[in-house]
Structure 1
Amino acid sequence: MTTTAPRTRLISVDDLVPGLSVLLQDETLYASGSHKEPAARSVAAAARADGHERVFVGSCGSYGRAMATACAQEGLRCTVVLPEGWGDGGAFAEATGADIRFAPGGYEDAVEESHRLAAEAGAADGNVDGPYQDAVLDGHGRVVQALHRELGPIPATMWLPVGNGTTVVAFHRRLRALGWSVPLHAVGSPGNNPIVTSWPGPYEPLPTGAVVTTEHNEPLVNWHALHGPAAMIAIDASGGVVHAATDDELVAAQKLLTGYGVDASPSGAAGLAGLLNHALSTPIDGPQIVVLTGRSGLD
């Protein structure tokens, strides 16, 4: 098995928001370009331990790339099911040796098809809502552990993108285990994610044809967020809030980050877009941790 050391960095900046300490947690440097790689590695290791030789996942891009990368490192076969016409057509995942399939419809349809194919093949179902869900959440939570180790239990606020809500749930679970009280502020695409449109509750999925994907917002878009209800509970329990960021705001945040040597995608910069917009209307104090989740050109 070939392993690659995780590549993340914490950048302290004091000029993004006047008078505010901002810490940029850059998770874009993994081989797959996605913060989802530790979760994918956790799933691949668990699948290998269970005797599986193949993993199936549904994805709109980033989790598929992460899983393809993780499976290649574990010596596992990987099948990534993508929605027809979405993302990069699977070029990155295919380059790692993954098998690419396509499903009509959107992300949720790709996940359902991958569930079916995994069961049919007797293979590991590596989806975020599948039997390896605990491994997914454990992997996503490792960045929180790393931040706590480096910063200690400082009274910070955390900003991160939201799509399925999986990362939010994982972060909150790890924060509670550490006894670290950190409000989670989740930032999604306006009108294109039920966590955003339902906040502060109750959770209601969107009509299947209501969401609009663009090259900038795609990882933030769901008509049904697979961990949506749990994510809303986690955000509320942490004392956080759900925010929306337009494509223009995502791109503006992305451009700002280039000045700090960060090559984030617009959706990967959603946490910063939310913080910048919120700071225009609301007094904020204390350290702000912004988690940057996807690399430009890959997310």
Structure 2
Amino acid sequence: MPTPAPLSAEAPSDAFGTPLIDVSALVPGARVLVKDETRYASGSHKEPAARAVVARAVADGHRHVTIATCGNYGRAMATACQVAGVECTVVLPAGWSDGGEAMQAAGARVHLVDGAYEDAVDESRRLAATGDCVDGNVDGPYVEAVFEGHGVVVSALRAALPEAPAAIWLPVGNGTTAIAVRRQLELLGWNTVINGVGSAGNNPMVTCWPGPYRTLPPESVSTTDHNQPLVNWHALQGDEAMAAIAATGGTVIGADDRELCDARDALAEHGAFPTAAGAVALAGLLRTARSEGLVPGTHVVVLSGR
């Protein structure tokens, strides 16, 4: 593979145009690149997964997809369905995100339920069971399409970088992205460490690391304006994701709201504008850099939503 030209402050790295941005100035002595997945039309890194799910559903003859979301996957699925001319129903916990305005703007029907994300998942599965729509959730019948879509980021890095990065820093919610990234790393033969970062105290992958996986009491998690998309009392694929991260020699850590906001604000100076939750992976890297330092080599940080 030919060696690409050195990265500028911002360099497009895949067919969708989401850039790599050099933010090494944030950690003197280290090379840190941000993969700004917020540049997708939906503003969410989950858009390739949503597109893959919709394509598979259409191929199977379905014209209506339903999912549960805290925000990011809903925006991604609404956008993907709109492009494909497919109906979309998004189930959202009442009081979370923007109430579904962005999803409605993309043509989705928004169904609000009392409770948490996990309650929204249950309701979306109930709707799918009626036969009027197909389950497009991350652990539903199109889970392999979800993994395929989330793996796009690794293919993009292969095209943009002359060698494997030392580490990839990812957000953790349900664990889906970590599993997908691990699969693609194995296919490439890259010995890249995966580090997962979530909301401190508000995700079982964070609280249980390094294992065994256990769900949290639902009443123990706390949502704020900054951490909402990161909060789970049950990570749907958490056990498998923890195993995937451990297999690379990586870790799962938590970041608090202050650290989320600090990471978001630091990125603005480099032309990246995620939400605080969308900057969680950088928050984890910065915490690690302060406390123990980073391993040598290139570190890639995935931004997840704006």
Is the counterpart of residue 235 in structure 1 residue 280 in structure 2?
no
Give distance in 2, aligned partners of 1:209 and 1:53.
37
Task: Work out whether 1:174 is the aligned partner of 2:176.
Answer: no
- 1:161-184 CA-to-partner distances (Å, cap 9, x unmatched) read 111111111111111111111101
Deviation for aligned residue 1:154: 2.4
Q: 1:81 to 1:188 in 2, by over 3 A?
A: same
Q: How much has 1:155 moved relative to structure 2?
A: 4.3
Check the 8 A contact 2:128/2:134 in 1, yes or no. Answer: yes
1:98-133 CA distances to partner (integer Å, 9 max, x unpaired)?
111112211011011101101103422100010000
Percent of aligned positions that are identical: 57
1:82 aligns with 2:92: yes
The structure 2 residue matched to 1:104, chosen from 99, 114, 119, is 114
Distance 1:59 1:273 in 2: 23
Q: After TM superposition, which residue ranges in structure 1, 4 or more long, deviate above 2 angstroms?
A: 152-155
Count of residue pairs the alignment pairs up: 291
1:200 alignment partner in structure 2: 210
Matched with 1:286 is 297
- Output the amino acid matched with 2:208: S
Counterpart of 2:167 in structure 1 is 157
1:289 maps to amino acid? V
For the aligned residue pairs, the C-alpha RMSD in angstroms reads: 1.0
The range that moved more, 66-75 or 158-167, is 158-167
2:60 matched to 1:54?
Answer: no
- State the distance in 1 between where 2:194 and 2:238 align: 14
Secondary structure at 2:33's aligned position in 1? strand
Whole-angstrom distance in 2 between the partners of 1:123 and 1:291 = 32
1:91 is aligned with what amino acid? E
Do the aligned partners of 1:7 and 1:27 also contact (CA within 8 Å) in 2? Answer: no
2:26 matched residue in structure 1: 16
How far 1:13 moved relative to its partner? 3.0
> Which secondary structure state, in structure 1, belongs to the residue aligned with residue 118 of structure 2?
helix
Which of 62, 67, 81 does residue 71 from structure 1 map onto?
81
Q: Map 1:181-192 onto structure 2 (within 5 A).
A: 181-192=191-202
**AA of the residue aligned to 2:297:** G
So what's the TM-score if we normalise by structure 1? 0.95
Structure 2: segments with no counterpart, 5+ residues: 1-14
Q: Give ranges in structure 1 of 5+ residues lacking alignment.
A: none
Is the Cα contact below 8 Å between 1:14 and 1:21 reproduced in 2? yes
Larger CA deviation: 116-125 vs 92-101: 116-125
Distance 1:143 1:196 in 2: 23
Q: Does the aligned pair in 1 maintain the 2:165–2:299 contact within 8 Å?
A: no
Distance of 1:18 and 1:194 partners within structure 2: 32
Partner amino acid, structure 1, of 2:286: L
2:196 and 2:207 map into 1 onto residues whose CA distance is 12
TM superposition shift of 1:96: 1.3
CA distance in 2, matches of 1:211, 1:278: 24
2:262 matched residue in structure 1: 252
What does residue 113 of structure 1 align with?
123
- Provide Cα deviations, 1:224-257, integer angstroms capped at 9, x if missing partner: 0001001100110011011110100000000000
Match of residue 10 from structure 2: none
How much does 1:153 deviate? 3.5
CA distance in 2, matches of 1:140, 1:126: 14
- The 2-side partners of 1:183 and 1:262 are apart by 24
Q: Which amino acid aligns with 1:115?
A: R
- 1:60–1:86 contact (8 Å) kept in structure 2: yes
> Which amino acid in 1 is paired with 2:301?
V
